[in-house]
Amino acid sequence: MKKFLMTCSVAMLILGGCGGGDDAPADDNGNGEQADGVSAEEGMALYEENCMSCHGGDLEGASAPALEGYSEEEVYDAIEQGPGSMPAGLVSGEDAEAVSKYVAQEG
**Greater confidence, 17 or 14?**
14
- Kindly indicate the confidence band of residue 7, based on its pLDDT and cuts at 50, 70 and 90: confident
Residue 50 · residue 99 · CB < 8 Å: yes
**pTM reported for the whole predicted model:** 0.65
- Between CA 40 and CA 84 the distance in angstroms is 25
- Domains (range + CATH), the chain: 37-107 (1.10.760.10)
The contacts of residue 15 (CB under 8 Å, 6+ apart) are none
